[in-house]
């Protein structure tokens, strides 16, 4: 049984609300250099395969932007989003329907992601999300330093969600969360009810134990209009 109506709904973004790994998709677009992109992406994939924690690979991702102007990266993020929208398959239709039902019931919609504002702001604006909790890269004199102030991965997602609950004075037991990866588990466990997207075995085991909702994984691109 879910919570009706939920006070706040926390949504993971990449491969939950959208059908791509948005951080990598944006990086490929932003760099405009296939060889360099493949080099960076391959390194991140190798590290992940070797068991390097997601929080660490997340930090390494932001090193790529060192020295770049925050405003220029943000503008690139909007161009990336516009390009993705042309194909009509950026959004996971089933999850967007869940989000819209919650919005109609007056639920506060919060996006929670290891991604950053350049990617997340256009998505949040399109969906009408109320809040965005994302990774915060360090900026000095208008340029990214390559370092990170706050990483929103794993336990970091739960920490960010709990801080927002405290700020709003809302009991987490009256809230819901949605995610697709085992690293989302701390956030899902921080609220009263959750939805598991796809077939992550860790999340499915917890869903069976706790009675969480099961939702389909990301569809083949081509039918995910928001």
Domains and CATH numbers, the chain: 8-215 (3.40.50.1000)
**Mean pLDDT of all residues in 124-138:** 98
**Lowest mean pLDDT: which of 29-43, 46-60, 184-198, 210-224?**
210-224
pLDDT digits (tens, 9 = 90+) for 178-207: 999 999 999 999 999 999 999 999 999 999
- Maximum alpha-carbon separation in the chain: 50
Count, residues in the chain: 226
Helix (H) or strand (E) holding 145: strand 143-150
Alpha-carbon distance of 186 to 110, in angstroms, equals: 16
**pTM for the complete prediction?**
0.92
**Within 13 Å and on the Cβ side, how many CA atoms surround 62?**
28
Angle of CA points 74, 119, 133, to nearest 5°: 110
The better pLDDT of the pair 4, 226 is held by 4
Quick one: tokens of 32?
A: 């405009």
List, edge to edge, every strand of the sheet that includes 176-179: 131-134, 108-113, 8-11, 176-179, 193-197, 213-215
Neighbour count for residue 203 (Cβ, 10 Å): 24
């Amino acid at each position: 049984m879910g919570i009706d109506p939920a006070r706040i709904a926390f949504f993971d973004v990449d491969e939950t609300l959208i059908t791509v790994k948005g951080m990598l998709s944006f990086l490929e677009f932003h760099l405009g250099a296939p060889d360099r992109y493949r080099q960076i992406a391959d390194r991140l994939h190798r590290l992940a395969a070797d068991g390097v924690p997601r929080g660490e690979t997340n930090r390494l991702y932001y090193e790529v932007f060192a020295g770049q102007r925050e405003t220029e990266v943000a503008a690139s993020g909007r161009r990336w989003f516009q390009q993705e929208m042309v194909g009509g398959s950026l959004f996971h239709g089933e999850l967007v329907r869940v989000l819209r039902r919650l919005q109609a019931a007056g639920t506060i919609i919060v996006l929670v992601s290891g991604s950053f504002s350049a990617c997340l702001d256009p998505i949040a604006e399109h969906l009408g999300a109320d809040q965005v909790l994302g990774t915060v890269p360090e900026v000095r004199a208008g340029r990214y330093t390559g370092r990170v102030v706050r990483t929103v991965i794993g336990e970091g997602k739960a920490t960010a969600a709990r801080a927002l609950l405290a700020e709003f004075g809302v009991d987490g037991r009256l809230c819901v969360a949605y995610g697709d990866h085992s690293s989302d588990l701390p956030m899902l466990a921080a609220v009263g009810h959750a939805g598991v997207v796809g077939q992550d075995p860790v999340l499915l085991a917890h869903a069976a134990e706790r009675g969480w909702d099961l939702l389909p994984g990301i569809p083949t691109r081509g039918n995910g209009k928001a």
